[in-house]
A and B are shown apart, each in its own frame.
Chain A
Amino acid sequence: MATPAPAHGSSTHVALPRPIVLWAIALAGLAAAGCTFALAFTSDHVAEPGLQAALLVWITLPYVISGVIAWWRRPDNRFGPLMILAGFAMFLSSFQWASAALPYTVGLAFDVLPAAVFLHVFLAFPTGRLQTRLERIAVGAAYSAAVGLQVVKMMLGGVGPDNLLALVAEPAAANAVQDVQLVTVSALCLAGIALLVARRRSAGPRQRPYATLIVNSFGVGLVMIAVLLLAGAFELPAFETIRRVTFGVIGIAPVAFLIGLLDVRLAREAVGQLLVDLRADPAPADLRDAFARALRDPSLTLAYWLPQFESWADLDGRPVQLPGRGSGRAITMIDRDGVRVAALVHRPLDHEPELRDAVTAAAEISLENGRLDAELRARLEELKGSRGRVIEAGQRERQRLERNLHDGAQQRLIALSLDLRLLEERFGGDPEATSALERARREIALSLDELRDVARGIHPAVVSGHGLGVALESLAARGPVPIRLTVNLEARLRERLEVAAYYVVSESLANVGKHAHAGAATVDVARSNGQLVVEVVDDGVGGADSERGTGLRGLADRVEALGGRLRVWTPHGGGTRVRAEIPCA
């Protein structure tokens, strides 16, 4: 998680274009608009120059201005620059109003360009890039037809007298080329609609809201361009009206593109998908991936705040170091009710504040659950460890008690008994005294027996002292039924393992005596594949009841605390098999 992913195209941070550049472009756009009006009004061949200039400015200036704003707000998105280029490219067509031959020729060459540019911009939304080969072919073909065929037409002398490109005067051929050109471009515009519909389908439900909106609003623009071009080709009388309406629609488009680009809908869509991902209760790694997708940052790191350790950690509990200032990474703190929950380490989102805020909000809601989950897991792990420690500490304490009994009370009682015996000899002649002393010695002998039983109950000292194999001999000999004991251990094992195994056998044999009504039992102890395997099998009635269950529960605790497991098979009438497997590698 901590290793940074390789830089990714969409997530690479792009330097903000300098404000002076943006201002210069905006001013250039205004200058171009002014120029357009100047050209129209100084033209010797334009009817209604004001209207024509306004129409052209209507479709150029919004592109430039929208492009500047888009570039400013989304510096890593190529759509802004594309809109700027589109605006200036379309502006070129206004040169055809110039009276001088050269600008007139240039302007004429770019007369049909706005249609191709619009198709390009339309298909490149919202990334600024054409996404499929078909889209690139369509746009390439549109440019070729719009400019290439225009140049051919001009070479055939198909337009006015000042055309510098005219080589021959073949008006009929020029007309034919123009028809082909207009039909081709309009067909490509309609194909653009088909491509968008296809994109909408393949994007699936999650991209539909804004994709649908764009297609619905600007599919109209493409259709109108197609109609306009066909009207030109077939010289329909309503051409001029269609042209004006079409320009009107095309002029609105960049504003809509800009809104689409900057609209929080984009952020909302990312966050909406994030919430869908989160609702599916993702696995921890998927949770991080969901945020990585929402923020378009594959190297995103999700760190949880662990208050009890006062440190950051990933979901596996490994510590995470948050990057410092100047690392090029941004950190978003996720708090819940004023309590720190987690942190997202991601690419800077200074220019997408809406996205950052929306993702933060989603994270605040969802991560608390994840953190609690992680905390619960951590506690569970800790609990497992502490169960082991508690059992081990208990065992150590019992061992200490047992040793104290043996080395203290028991030794003293034996010495006392010995003293009494020596006294007995000294009072050999006094029968009353000797019988009293002997009674006392018998009492001591009984106490010693009881003490021994108590000590054995506290801790099986023979296991610690002499190993499992030796200890099991007595258990098997004292067993409630004939027992076949097989111990296959080459060396001593860790003491707590041996003690656990001892208790498994002793408790199981006690159960055999109490409940099984068995005729015989076997005890097998062996080490295999890094495991100590203890198995106690009887031929009794099976169907262990709940009373047996509690004893088995204690055994299971002991075995599980050592990372092992205890299993019991006890079918009715089929005997009982208790099997403990404890790792001992």
Chain B
Amino acid sequence: MLAEDSVLLREGLARLLDDAGLDVVAQCGDAEDLMRKVKSHDPDVAIVDIRLPPTHNDEGLRAALEIRADHPSVGVLVLSQYVELGLALKLLADSADGVGYLLKDRISDVDDFVAAVRRVAEGGSALDPIIVSTLLARRRSDDPLAKLTPREREVLELMATGSSNQGIADALVITLRAVEKYVSSIFGKLGLPSTGSESRRVLAVLTFLRS
């Protein structure tokens, strides 16, 4: 379902998702309506604009956090005109399961966007590349990232955005096995314990990069 106050964008998004074979069960223009409809429709994923009426401040974010707390089965994909590390940390405070945070611009990269929607709907995660590159660019006094090869760095970036191993393999045009090798190598070099699920992996990487 969709929560977006700009009718223009909301209609475009609905058509896009519809064309991609996703079922848009409900649309709304403000946070109150969103909470009501999440309750009644119990969607797989709610796509929420971070700025919603009436004040256009943090209503969307608060609604998103509320859905995460009260309806854990509903994935939340937050769209925003700007992406902020602080907000990503807030959204992913406890887990990266079924949560996404993307720049609004990303919707025109339809394939990637639809993939992200599907991932979040299925309990995975989607983090905007800007967040990840901000974290990767962060200055560190004793940078463990320097130990990574360029290829491993690419894999880490994709991993942090929430991509699955298959997604990484497709994006880099390498085999799934090669991806798995890179992943375990990266975890080894960064001293992170291997975790099972791909979304938990996002959180681990995020936490590591942030510290």
| Chain A contacts to B: CB under 8 angstroms | 403, 406-407, 410-412, 414-415, 417-422, 425, 441, 444-445, 448-449, 452, 455-456, 461-462, 464-466, 469-474, 477-483, 519-520
Contact = CB atoms under 8 A, between A and B. Distances in A.
A473 B12 contact: no
B18 to A, nearest CB: 11
A483 B138 CA distance: 9
Nearest to A410: B81
A407 B6 CA distance: 8
B110 interface: yes
Contacts of B139: 479-483
Nearest to B137: A478
Given A414-B105, A421-B108, A465-B50, 11 more contacts: A414-B108, A418-B12, A418-B13, A418-B16, A422-B16, A449-B105, A455-B82, A465-B56, A465-B58, A477-B85, A478-B134
A481 B138 CA distance: 8
B177 interface: no
28 contacts: A406-B82, A411-B9, A414-B105, A414-B108, A415-B6, A415-B9, A418-B13, A421-B16, A421-B109, A421-B110, A422-B12, A425-B19, A425-B110, A445-B108, A448-B105, A452-B81, A455-B82, A456-B82, A462-B86, A462-B87, A465-B50, A465-B56, A466-B84, A466-B86, A470-B87, A473-B89, A477-B210, A482-B140
Interface residues of B, number: 36
A461 B8 contact: no
A420 B134 CA distance: 29
B86 A420 contact: no
Contacts of A466: 57-58, 61, 84, 86-87, 90
A414 B86 contact: no
Contacts of B137: 477-478
Interface of B: 6, 8-9, 12-13, 15-16, 19, 50-51, 56-58, 61, 81-82, 84-87, 89-90, 104-105, 107-110, 134-135, 137-141, 210
A478 B8 CA distance: 33
- A-B interface, 8 closest residue pairs, ranked by CB to CB distance from nearest: A470-B86, A473-B86, A417-B108, A418-B12, A473-B85, A465-B57, A415-B8, A474-B85
Which residue of B9, B90, B108 has the most chain A CB atoms within 10 A of its CB atom?
B108
A490 to B, nearest CB: 16
Which residue of B9, B84, B137 has the most chain A CB atoms within 10 A of its CB atom?
B84
Contact of A520 (B13, B56, B104, B141): B141
Nearest to B11: A415
A414 B15 CA distance: 14
A44 B82 CA distance: 127
B129 to A, nearest CB: 12
B155 to A, nearest CB: 21
A237 to B, nearest CB: 115
Contacts of B12: 415, 418-419, 422
A465 B51 contact: yes
Given A411-B6, A456-B82, A470 B90 contact: yes
